[in-house]
Amino acid sequence: MRFSSTVAVGALAAGASAAENYLGFNSGATLPDRSAKFKKDFAAEMTTAQKLQGAPGTFNAVRLYTNIQAYSQDDPIEAFEAAIDTQTKLLLGIWTSGTDTIDKEISALNKAVKKYGSKFTDLVIGMSIGSEDLYRNSATGVANKAGVGNQPDAIVKFINDYKKAFKDSPLSKVPIGHVDTWDVWPNATNKAVIDAVDWIGVDEYPYYENAKGNSIKNAPALFDKAYDAAIAAAGGKPVWLTETGWPATGPNWDEAVPSVENARYYWANIGCRRLFNKTPTFWYTLRDSNPDNEAKFAITKDLSPEPLFNLTCPTTFDVATTTSSSSGSPTPTGNSTSGSGSGSGNNSGNSSGGSNSGSSGGTTTSGSGSSGSTTKPATASGTNAATSLQVSFAGAALVAGVYALL
């Protein structure tokens, strides 16, 4: 009874004002070999997502980290054409980390509006101004070498720049949000961002919650506490789940063990129980695209519509809340999972699934070393910056090119 009421309240707070509870995946701007994705690559992902066998609904939405085609200056990303052809809804992203301007992102988006008109704008369900910038710029992000982020006042400025640029465009009606790690939102220093947006996006990975009892059986408890904390901080604004997942292969992360069986357990006991058809949800991920991340989160092999595990939602759930003897309370405090390059997008902006702006799976590294915080691999930006980010991943130095690798 206690659990049921928690889910009901959480679902209401997270999704009540959403026009539709979208189902989708993260998608970066590059492939696993760091080459650019083009229209056919995005279309292949979108087609597979819509045909997934046993899915608890149609996955006909996609989250992007940038509007810029990989390795170009301000050409519209070819995912737009693929979305038009496949009628896939678009959660767009503007990359804002390590920059003082979003002019090129705005230019690419303006070109797309002029070229495709309502065939494009009618598919846009949301606009995220930034991805995990606040986490990267936090004390935890800096300690974890998560890369260059940005301050709350800069994010608010970018939101205003975007609104000014598109005030006379059909995109002016699109709800604006910002995506970050769950622990960013309860931090009072970031309240200005919450005040400036229509919705907040949450990236949360219990897999990376080391020193907190992050076994698969405890993942629901870790997720719920983090997700509920973000909902409480949102002040009634919709909360979209923008990155989460569990790897099928890869290294053990403290008590977290990657396996197909555990990925299925996570899908059922977090996705089915708490997210799918309750709030807009963007899973990490359909296809792995970040070569620097040893943990592989893809739920398909070679984009087959036959998934690695049964996607059918169960009628009952395992909501174990026990913690390991070494971890103490499962309540996530302090550090949290972050990033978007590890398990979620492609290298474009997400590492918690992570993501750095436009690549193939995520671009930020998050994580925390040993003090119970989570650590994520880095994601690249996707906006063709010619620099690279040094990321510490499980003690090893990883270099994620700033070209969006999501």
Q: Please list the residues that pair with 241 across neighbouring strands.
A: 202, 281
**Contact at 8 Å (CB) between 397 and 144?**
no
Q: Is residue 245 part of a domain?
A: yes
Q: Is residue 406 part of a domain?
A: no
**Could you confirm whether 132 is annotated as catalytic?**
yes
Q: Is residue 146 part of a domain?
A: yes
Q: Which amino acid is at 99?
A: T
The dihedral of CA 57, 30, 240, 238: what is its sign? negative
Task: Tell me the average pLDDT across 280-305.
Answer: 96
**Contact at 8 Å (CB) between 253 and 219?**
no
Per-residue confidence (pLDDT) for residue 332, from 0 to 100: 36
What tokens were used for 31? 């492939």
Residues 404 and 385: their CA atoms lie apart, in Å, by 9
pLDDT tier, 376 (very low <50, low <70, confident <90, very high otherwise): low
Per-residue confidence (pLDDT) for residue 320, from 0 to 100: 56
From 45, 78, 105, 132, the catalytic residue: 132
Structural domain harbouring 43 = 2-401
Residues 100 and 96: their CA atoms lie apart, in Å, by 8
Task: Tell me the average pLDDT across 148-157.
Answer: 97
Using alpha carbons, list the distances in angstroms from residue 401 to 291, 367, 381, 406: 11, 19, 8, 11
On the question of pLDDT at 284 being above 70, the answer is yes
pLDDT tens string 214-265: 999 999 999 999 999 999 999 999 999 999 999 999 999 999 999 999 999 9
Task: Tell me the average pLDDT across 97-112.
Answer: 97
CB contact set of 219 (below 8 Å; sequence gap of 6+): 206, 207, 246, 256, 265, 266, 269, 270
- Could you give the number of structural domains in the chain? 1
Task: Tell me the average pLDDT across 382-401.
Answer: 31
pLDDT tens string 111-148: 999 999 999 999 999 999 999 999 999 888 888 888 99
Q: What is the 3-state secondary structure (H, E, C) of 189-229?
A: HHHHHHHHCCEEEEECCHHHECCCCCCHHHHHHHHHHHHHH
Residues 302 and 233: their CA atoms lie apart, in Å, by 39
pLDDT tier, 195 (very low <50, low <70, confident <90, very high otherwise): very high
On the question of pLDDT at 365 being above 80, the answer is no
On the question of pLDDT at 8 being above 90, the answer is no
To the nearest whole number, what is the mean pLDDT of the chain? 81
Residues 27 and 45: their CA atoms lie apart, in Å, by 8
pTM score > 0.95 for this model?
A: no
CATH of the domain at 92: 3.20.20.80
**Could you confirm whether 261 is annotated as catalytic?**
no
- Give the HSE-up count for residue 396: Cα atoms under 13 Å, Cβ half-sphere: 9
From 81, 243, 255, 294, the catalytic residue: 243
b/e sequence 243-275, b meaning 16+ C-beta within 10 Å: bbbbbbebeebbbbbbeeebbbbbbbbbbbbbb
**Contact at 8 Å (CB) between 91 and 128?**
yes
Name residue, tokens 């702006």: 357
Q: Is residue 138 part of a domain?
A: yes
